Amino acid sequence: MKKAEFLSHWKGIEANQDINISPVPYKHTGSTYDQDGIRLTGSPEFIDSVLSRLKDLLLHENGSTRLQLVYKQSTDRHTKQSIDGFNCYVQVHRRGDEAIHVNSFIEAVTGKEAVSV
Cite the DSSP H helix spans in 35-92.
Answer: 44-51
Q: Which of 74, 22, 21, 71 is nearest to 51 (CA)?
A: 71
The structure's pTM equals 0.82
83 contacts 68 by C-beta, under 8 angstroms: no
Confidence of residue 112 (pLDDT cuts 50, 70, 90): confident
Instruction: Give residue 115's pLDDT.
Output: 65
- Write down the mean pLDDT value for the chain: 92
The domain spans of the chain are 35-117
**Selected residue with higher pLDDT from 103 and 23:** 23
Could you read off the pLDDT of 81-108 as tens digits, one per residue?
999 999 999 999 999 888 888 888 888 8
Please state, in angstroms and rounded to a whole number, the distance separating the CA atoms of residues 17 and 34.
22
Please state, in angstroms and rounded to a whole number, the distance separating the CA atoms of residues 114 and 33.
30
